[in-house]
Structure 1
């Protein structure tokens, strides 16, 4: 079950900045290299369906229930039982590049 929230950013120094307000889903990331004892992290993905016409390749493949996702390598496509998605880090207009 996917829970949709709105984008609200918090900078690394702890200062809160307004987010873009886009709908996102926090999904548990399955890393390429599993490390025993390491807690899994969540990643923000755009809640809107991936549009191939956007000109950007999908960054992640999401399990059908939106519970987990895995990164996609360049040129890789999701499996038939996965949904293509973009990380919100790539699409948020309020995201600032690191200095």
Structure 2
């Protein structure tokens, strides 16, 4: 397989563009001391992002809030949330969600 020079430059450029927003803040923030309120605020960002993604995928259909169009997903979310809260295990939560939805789609 032959790699063209332009394709190689595109791959290297894409890697650099992807790497800069991840490494640069890490390098800058590792050298300064952040206030305690900033650290506590930053700890909530993953939860807020996950909540926004879940609400959008579970409750939205055709850019409108709909509780009836995603019934199976909403039902599968219940044991998934329970496992997430009780175990705080990412792999357990993912497996529970996938298995719950799989069983519900097989049955209904």
Alignment TM class, shorter chain as reference: under 0.3
Q: Kindly indicate whether structure 1 or structure 2 has the higher relative contact order, using CA contacts under 8 Å at least 6 residues apart.
A: 1
Looking at secondary structure, tell me which structure has more helix per residue.
2
| Between structures 1 and 2, the one with greater strand share | 1
Q: TM-score, normalised by structure 2?
A: 0.20
Give the TM-score normalised by structure 1: 0.21
Q: Which has the larger radius of gyration?
A: 2
